[in-house]
Amino acid sequence: MKAVYPGSFDPITNGHLDIIKRTIKLAGSVTVAVLNNPSKNSLFTVDERVELIKKVTRDMPNVKVESFKGLLVDFMKSQGADVIIRGFRTISDYEYELQMAHINEHLNENVETIFMVAKNGYSYLSSSIVKEIAKFGGSIDDFVPYEVEYTLKQKLNLLK
């Protein structure tokens, strides 16, 4: 199994990191694939997102971080990967995740999607929620690593 964990990661959260750790246990290694889509309104540039993920995974074995453009199945092919890992939080993820899994299966039937159920403590966590809490001055240190908290506050001009 060669696993790819794709996403926007704008920015990476502790929920994402938990999925990365569990994927390494399952598959031995993982490539984190950061979507480079200029038409998506991301707070962080793709290079910033990649750098942040590299920083917070630096002590984890066998994690590769790449950005990709275009179709995920094409990126998977370029990496010789066959398994897409997605975190599954609540029922509201269901429709979107199922649609993506079916489309990816249609585009390449040799690619499998594996859903990892988010740990209870992370089922409400998302990058959007983290950005919103930070924007209004709330504490996010339970939700993201220190480097992410610092960079996010810097981005939002919240550092004194």
User: Given 2, 89, 119, 155, which residue is catalytic?
Assistant: 89
Q: Which is nearer to ligand PNS, 128 or 158 (CB)?
A: 128
Spatial contact of 53 and 74, defined as CB atoms under 8 Å apart: no
Residues 62-121 that bind ligand PNS (CB under 6 A): 71-72, 100, 103-104
Dist. CA 85–CA 102, nearest whole Å: 14
Least distance between ligand PNS and beta carbon 113 (Å): 10
Closest CA to 29 of 60, 54, 56: 60
Residues in contact with ligand PNS, shown as a per-residue x/- string from 19 to 58 under the rule CB under 6 A: ----------------x-----------------------
Instruction: For residue 149, give every residue at least 6 positions away whose Cβ sits within 8 Å of its Cβ, in sequence order, or none.
Output: 134, 140, 141
Q: Is 92 a catalytic residue?
A: no
Structure token digits, residue 121: 């403590």
How many C-beta atoms lie closer than 10 Å to residue 123's C-beta? 14
Question: Which listed residue (3, 5, 7, 49) binds ligand PNS by CB under 6 A?
Answer: 7
Active site residues: 16, 40, 89, 127
Which residues make up the interface to ligand PNS (CB under 6 A)?
6-8, 35, 71-72, 100, 103-104
